[in-house]
Amino acid sequence: MKRKIEKNMWCDSMCCEKNIAWMVGSEINALFQLDFNTKSYHFITDFPNTSINNIRQNQLCLKIGNDIYFFPDRGKSVGMYNLLNKNFKEILINNPDNERIMINMVFYCMDKLYAVSIGLKGIIEIDIYKEEIVNIYLFANYMQDSEISSEGCIVDDKIYFTIPEKNMICEFSSGSKKITAFCLS
């Protein structure tokens, strides 16, 4: 007997703005909009050059102005969709070994995006005006057979996330571009 697979609105994250939430489907690789006032859910667009059936292709999205940025689990680029022009652009990620990117946190600070990539073991800095990756700041030396958390926070110009297995807090300064870490007792 074949089991019927139902698609639903499962997503890994939402970016909210007043009464609207934007999200990328985890089962359906497309952009959706949720209106909290009307309690309605709308398909906006699918992604060019990828199947709508790619599960968890883009884990996170973030809206800045009229642009929505999409951050991949796998792939070679960060996507960008302009809500006014209804067009897509790609910001290529240097990933010659085709590693799983696994971006699990994104922060907007001082007109830059900072995407924390477990797969590349670094923080990807994206200039939103030039629409390009400026640098990748590696934190691999702090991980050593550990994983980083999927939650973090930003305080002033510093990004914080944890390495739970080591009771370690990592701090990235978007000003100095330095990564430091300290252990908790």
What was the pLDDT predicted at 7?
A: 58
CB 60 within 8 A of CB 108: no
User: CA 31, CA 9: separation in Å to the nearest integer?
Assistant: 11
Per-residue confidence at 3, pLDDT binned at 50, 70, 90? very low
How do residues 124-182 score in pLDDT, each as one tens digit? 999 999 999 999 998 877 666 667 777 888 899 999 988 887 888 889 999 999 999 88
CB 52 within 8 A of CB 29: yes
User: CA 148, CA 146: separation in Å to the nearest integer?
Assistant: 7
The H or E element spanning position 80 is strand 77-82
What was the pLDDT predicted at 137?
A: 92
Give φ, ψ of 137 to 5 degrees: -100, 115
How do residues 60-93 score in pLDDT, each as one tens digit? 889 999 999 988 877 788 989 999 999 999 999 8
Find how far residue 163's CA is from the centre of its chain. 18
